[in-house]
């Protein structure tokens, strides 16, 4: 085997390890959505309190830690940062199983949020130095399979654990895989040369505030970040409350609801994310190479389709019809990740890549994750009854429509700044 062939194979191994790490990220973030019902019953919590645990209690600490992590990713050894973050969020998730009430569980979720802020910018920065623009959407699409796989494992296996052993052991089980994976990641993943897949030279001398100004001066960047933030508000909110919706509105058992959500957002979400990421690379290749403006334009249709499917799911009176549209929403839910993040890391360049992903994650988690889960819980409290959560999800879907509009505007800005690549 030649050195070139060995390096080619090794990058796929790295992608596999980073995907497993991000799968642990997905499990530990998503597991709270499965146990909202038993948590509410044991601690006598309102929908708004449950929304805070699932959303702002995680999203605000995540957002606070995101920019410092992004700055660190662009300056320090990323393999070490990823190992430390993976260990910390996995341990914090396991400790949530010992919570004595709302405030101790909130502290545990906040710890998970702080540590997980390092996952996405570190992983995406590493991948961008292993994969060039010709394979970047595919690689990120595969990496984002982790979100669906983690969600599926959390809801499928977690549903069984909740029914047989209770919600506390569900948290413990969720934290174990990351603790086992962290040593393997540290020992076998090599730190790549920063910027080796890009033509632009890498310079990291400016301050974080100067770099933020440079980042948001890039045409299309603000709209792209706004789009992901809006989409996250809808999708994270819906996925967090979906099991509760199926239990309340259609009398599903917790294990049946968990299995349904696992298939929709886990399996079908993964298939959709992989297919669209691969398809975007193929389409761009047929047009002469990766085109950020064109990719953003095509991606703008995905959140619109998600919103339509989500609204039809919560409006359906028959369980079978509702499940069918839930499956459709799940398929589209992660499909935007590969192409939109490929747009962001490409237009940001190697100098600002870690900061760009951290800025996205800060906004998406503070506003999207933090606000989305809380919004649905609040609307549920206001409406009341068995359809309160359904109304909350319906309101959240409006943010997917806003995300679609923002992606269209991002495409226009990018095209205007580089008309040759129209």
Q: Which residues are within 8 A (CB) of 420 and not within 5 positions of it... i.e. 6 or more apart?
A: none
User: In this structure, are residues 352 and 211 in contact, taking their beta carbons and an 8 Å threshold?
Assistant: yes
Integer Cα distance of 15 and 19 in angstroms: 6
User: In this structure, are residues 241 and 389 in contact, taking their beta carbons and an 8 Å threshold?
Assistant: yes
The total of other beta-carbon atoms located within 10 Å of residue 46's CB is 13
pLDDT tens digits for range 274-301: 787 777 778 877 877 778 888 888 889 9
Which is it for the CA torsion 163, 149, 147, 185, positive or negative?
positive
Q: Which residues are within 8 A (CB) of 213 and not within 5 positions of it... i.e. 6 or more apart?
A: none
Q: What is the DSSP letter of 98?
A: G
Integer Cα distance of 407 and 299 in angstroms: 7
Percentages of the chain per state (helix, strand, coil), in multiples of 5: 85, 0, 15
Its domain, for residue 170, covers: 3-421
Print burial letters for 308-321: b (CB count within 10 Å at least 16), e (below 16). Answer: bbbbbbbebeeeee
> pLDDT at residue 388 above 70?
yes
pLDDT score, position 204: 52
Question: Which is higher by pLDDT, 279 or 204?
Answer: 279
pLDDT score, position 34: 78
> pLDDT at residue 31 above 80?
yes
Q: Categorize the per-residue pLDDT at 366 as very low, low, confident or very high, splitting at 50, 70 and 90.
A: confident
pLDDT score, position 308: 95
Q: Determine the average pLDDT of the residues in 202-206.
A: 56
User: In this structure, are residues 54 and 244 in contact, taking their beta carbons and an 8 Å threshold?
Assistant: no
Using alpha carbons, select from 104, 105, 110, 82 the residue that is nearest to residue 24.
82
Integer Cα distance of 95 and 208 in angstroms: 33
Percent of the chain surpassing pLDDT 90 = 27
> pLDDT at residue 403 above 90?
yes
Averaged confidence pLDDT in the chain: 84
> What is the total count of domains within the chain?
1
Residue 283 main-chain phi, psi, to 5 deg: -65, -45
Residue located via tokens 């396991």: 94
Both tokens of 364, joined, read 């998406």
> pLDDT at residue 421 above 80?
no
Integer Cα distance of 409 and 417 in angstroms: 13
Q: What is the CATH number of the domain that holds 222?
A: 1.20.1250.20
Q: Categorize the per-residue pLDDT at 422 as very low, low, confident or very high, splitting at 50, 70 and 90.
A: very low
User: In this structure, are residues 373 and 74 in contact, taking their beta carbons and an 8 Å threshold?
Assistant: no
pLDDT score, position 243: 85
Both tokens of 201, joined, read 């030279």
Q: Categorize the per-residue pLDDT at 310 as very low, low, confident or very high, splitting at 50, 70 and 90.
A: very high
User: What number of helices (H) and strands (E) belong to the chain?
Assistant: 20, 0
Q: Which helix (H) or strand (E) holds 57?
A: helix 56-73
**Whole-model pTM over 0.85:** no
Both tokens of 16, joined, read 């596999």
The total of other beta-carbon atoms located within 10 Å of residue 166's CB is 14
> pLDDT at residue 213 above 70?
yes
Lowest mean pLDDT across 226-235, 332-341, 388-397:
332-341
Integer Cα distance of 297 and 352 in angstroms: 23
> pLDDT at residue 13 above 60?
yes
pLDDT tens digits for range 136-150: 667 777 787 777 788
Residue 346 main-chain phi, psi, to 5 deg: -75, -50
Integer Cα distance of 171 and 365 in angstroms: 21
């Amino acid at each position: 085997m030649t050195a070139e062939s060995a390096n080619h194979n090794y990058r796929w191994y790295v992608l596999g390890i980073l995907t497993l790490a991000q799968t642990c990220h997905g499990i530990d973030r998503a597991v709270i959505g499965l146990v909202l019902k038993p948590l509410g019953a044991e601690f006598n919590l309102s929908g708004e309190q449950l929304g805070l645990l699932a959303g702002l209690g995680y999203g605000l600490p995540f957002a606070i830690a995101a920019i410092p992590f992004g700055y660190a990713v662009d300056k320090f050894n990323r393999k070490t940062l990823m190992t430390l973050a993976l260990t910390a969020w996995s341990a914090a998730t396991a400790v949530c199983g010992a919570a004595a009430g709302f405030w101790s569980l909130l502290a545990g979720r906040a710890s998970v949020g702080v540590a997980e802020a390092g996952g996405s910018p570190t992983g995406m920065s590493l991948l961008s130095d292993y994969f060039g623009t010709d394979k970047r959407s595919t690689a990120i699409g595969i990496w984002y399979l982790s979100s669906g796989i983690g969600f599926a494992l959390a809801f499928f296996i977690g549903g069984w654990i909740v029914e047989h052993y209770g919600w506390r052991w569900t948290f413990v089980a969720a934290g174990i895989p990351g603790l086992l994976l962290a040593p393997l990641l540290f020992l076998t993943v090599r730190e790549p040369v920063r910027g080796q897949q890009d033509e632009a030279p890498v310079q990291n001398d400016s301050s974080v505030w100067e770099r933020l100004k440079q980042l948001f001066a890039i045409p299309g960047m603000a709209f792209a970040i706004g789009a992901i933030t809006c989409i996250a508000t809808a999708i994270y909110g819906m996925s967090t409350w979906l099991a509760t919706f199926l239990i309340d509105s259609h009398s599903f058992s917790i294990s049946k609801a968990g299995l349904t959500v696992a298939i929709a957002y886990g399996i079908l979400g993964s298939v959709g994310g992989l297919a669209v990421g691969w398809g975007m690379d193929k389409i761009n290749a047929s047009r002469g190479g990766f085109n950020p403006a064109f990719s953003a334009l095509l991606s703008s249709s995905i959140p619109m389709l998600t919103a339509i499917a989500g609204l039809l799911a919560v409006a359906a009176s028959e369980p079978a019809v509702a499940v069918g549209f839930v499956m459709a929403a799940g398929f589209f839910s992660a499909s935007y990740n590969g192409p939109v993040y490929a747009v962001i890391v490409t237009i940001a360049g190697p100098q600002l890549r870690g900061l760009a992903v951290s800025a996205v994650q800060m906004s998406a988690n503070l506003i999207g994750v933090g606000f989305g889960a809380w919004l649905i819980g609040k609307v549920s409290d206001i409406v009341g009854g068995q359809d309160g959560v359904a109304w909350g999800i319906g309101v959240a879907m409006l943010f997917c429509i806003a995300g679609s509009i923002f992606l269209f505007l991002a495409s226009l800005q990018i095209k205007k700044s580089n008309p040759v690549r129209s």
